[in-house]
């Protein structure tokens, strides 16, 4: 039978070999994204750095791939730092973010000589300074600011509006307090600012707006406090294709940003700082596919047909969390005419556990296989054990060959840690 192939592998064969639900992740796609980063950014512009936002998808294998491509990585928790450490990731290429870093996480980061810590609040300056002093080290830091921009994306993935839990607000009194704290610190080397506008952005206008705002801030800080910024981290947020989006290549963001940066540097008479980007979703989203087995097919006459799969919000919370849209195919019937409109439901005890509200499919029945596209980012990493459903296996694909990266969780492992 002719089944749908994902990066050279027969998806139904994979489902039968490893069981379902199953995360498939293409290493070839990840590496080709790394190549695009090199050709459009790292090799094209001097004094630049690309850092993969590991929250999108982090496994030991992924950290090794990122390192082998010469990219840095960002982390937002002790667990992510630990995973990077275990993979042998060079700590000088790791950045630590977060709006509420715990003391023990900061200690773990500093003890292991992490490359940068991104300060998220004025009061964090003293905490990080003290821990750096206890470790007799000078810690390199950036400061995340919230430029007060609303990006064109779902509210839950906007991150730079005025009313945001992320970053230092751009209010004079807060910036003054921040700079006083930094001036007073003894064990911090302040390198520059960071912003991250939001996620799944398909337009570059908000990045460009933020650059103008940040340069004005950099100029104020230079005039008032004498700091020359050596680095500027412009975050990630570059969008991908889920359904009918038509994302532009990375250069659509990079080239106008770099132009705006050069122009601003000239305008304010500054040396252009080192520019860092932090793509997460863009690097891994389209590299992933989730394969499910179809179970109950329930028709409510005159209303809709629910086609239930053997996973759902436990392996992909995004549709329930922020109405994210996905596209899918019936893998063993992908060449057949699509004659029905159905709703793809998960198996969790929540009415909101719907993966796709309206999907055109051929006539489906129990035992068919469904493949959901673009599930590489924020799916595995947001996995939960709700309803005591076990984590799917994760298989990496490279050169048409499959290799288990994470095996399926067992029932026994579900109870691990219960005393």
Ligand X SMILES: Cc1ncc(COP(=O)(O)O)c(C=O)c1O
For 287, the token pair is 């590299």
d(Cα 211, Cα 152) in Å, to the nearest integer? 17
Binding to ligand X (CB under 6 A) within 195-214 occurs at 196, 199
Which is closer to ligand X, CB of 96 or CB of 215? 96
| 62 alpha-carbon distance from chain centroid | 13
- The secondary structure element, H or E, covering residue 103 is helix 103-111
Q: Is 167 in the site for ligand X (CB under 6 A)?
A: no
Give the dihedral sign, CA 315/320/325/327: positive
Binding to ligand X (CB under 6 A) within 86-125 occurs at 97
Which is closer to ligand X, CB of 106 or CB of 389? 106
Question: What are the C-alpha distances in Å from 238 to residues 152, 191, 285?
Answer: 12, 24, 11
Radius of gyration of the chain from Cα atoms? 23
- Return the beta strands (E) in 219-327 as ranges: 231-233, 274-277, 288-300, 304-309
Contacts of 252 (CB under 8 A, 6+ apart): 204
Q: Is 344 in the site for ligand X (CB under 6 A)?
A: no
CB of 224 to ligand X, least distance (A): 26
Catalytic residue among 300, 349, 415, 419: 349
CB of 6 to ligand X, least distance (A): 22
Which is closer to ligand X, CB of 145 or CB of 370? 145
Q: Is 147 in the site for ligand X (CB under 6 A)?
A: no
Q: Is 15 in the site for ligand X (CB under 6 A)?
A: no
Q: Total residues contacting ligand X (rule CB under 6 A)?
A: 16
- Helix/strand/coil for 347: coil
Binding to ligand X (CB under 6 A) within 46-65 occurs at 53, 56
Q: Report the residue from 147, 235, 346, 376 that binds ligand X according to the rule CB under 6 A.
A: 235
**34 counts as catalytic:** no
Nearest 5 degrees, angle CA 309-CA 313-CA 317? 140
Q: Is 72 in the site for ligand X (CB under 6 A)?
A: no
CB of 253 to ligand X, least distance (A): 11
Contacts of 106 (CB under 8 A, 6+ apart): 96, 117, 127, 128, 131
d(Cα 51, Cα 77) in Å, to the nearest integer? 16
Which is closer to ligand X, CB of 200 or CB of 343? 200
Q: Is 185 in the site for ligand X (CB under 6 A)?
A: no
| Mask for 257-296, x = binds ligand X (CB under 6 A) | ---------------------xxxxx--------------
- Helix/strand/coil for 72: strand
Q: Is 78 in the site for ligand X (CB under 6 A)?
A: no
CB of 245 to ligand X, least distance (A): 13
Which is closer to ligand X, CB of 122 or CB of 284? 284
Give the dihedral sign, CA 152/156/157/158: positive
- Contacts with ligand X by CB under 6 A lie at 53, 56, 74, 97, 159, 196, 199, 235-238, 278-282
Residues designated catalytic:
349
């Amino acid at each position: 039978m002719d089944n749908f192939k994902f990066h050279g592998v027969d998806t139904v064969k994979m489902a039968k070999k490893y069981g379902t639900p199953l995360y498939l992740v293409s290493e070839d796609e990840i590496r080709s994204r790394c190549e695009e980063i090199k050709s459009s950014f790292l090799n094209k512009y001097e004094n630049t750095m690309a850092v993969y936002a590991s929250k999108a998808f982090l496994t030991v294998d992924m950290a090794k791939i990122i390192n082998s491509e010469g990219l840095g990585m960002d982390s937002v928790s002790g667990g992510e730092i630990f995973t990077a450490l275990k993979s042998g990731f060079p700590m000088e290429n790791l950045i630590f973010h977060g709006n509420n870093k715990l003391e023990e996480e900061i200690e773990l980061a500093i003890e292991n000589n992490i490359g940068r810590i991104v300060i998220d609040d004025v009061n964090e300056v003293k905490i990080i300074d003290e821990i750096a002093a206890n470790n007799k080290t000078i810690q390199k830091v950036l400061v995340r600011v919230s430029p007060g921009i609303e990006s064109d994306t779902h509210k839950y993935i906007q991150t730079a509006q005025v009313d945001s839990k992320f970053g230092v607000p751009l209010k004079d009194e807060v910036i003054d307090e921040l700079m006083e704290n930094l001036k007073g610190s003894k064990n911090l080397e302040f390198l520059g600012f960071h912003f991250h506008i939001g996620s799944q952005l398909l337009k570059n206008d908000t990045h460009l707006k933020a650059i103008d705002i940040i340069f004005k801030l950099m100029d104020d800080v230079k005039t008032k406090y004498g700091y020359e910024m050596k680095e500027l981290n412009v975050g990630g947020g570059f969008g991908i294709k889920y359904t009918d989006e038509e994302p532009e290549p990375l250069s659509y963001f990079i080239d106008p940003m770099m132009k705006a940066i050069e122009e601003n540097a000239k305008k304010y008479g500054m040396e252009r700082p080192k520019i860092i980007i932090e793509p997460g979703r863009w690097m891994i989203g389209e590299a992933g596919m989730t394969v499910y087995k179809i179970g109950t097919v329930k028709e409510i006459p005159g209303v809709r047909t629910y086609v239930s799969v053997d996973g759902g919000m436990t392996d992909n919370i995004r549709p329930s969390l922020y109405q994210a849209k996905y596209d899918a195919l019936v893998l063993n019937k992908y060449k057949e005419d699509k004659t029905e409109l159905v709703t793809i439901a998960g198996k969790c005890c929540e009415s909101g556990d719907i993966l796709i509200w309206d999907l055109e499919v051929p006539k489906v029945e129990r035992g068919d296989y469904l493949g959901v596209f673009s599930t590489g980012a924020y799916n595995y990493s947001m996995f939960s054990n709700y309803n005591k459903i076990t984590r799917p296996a994760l298989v990496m694909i490279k050169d048409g060959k499959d290799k288990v990266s994470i095996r399926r969780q067992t029932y026994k492992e579900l109870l691990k840690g219960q005393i």
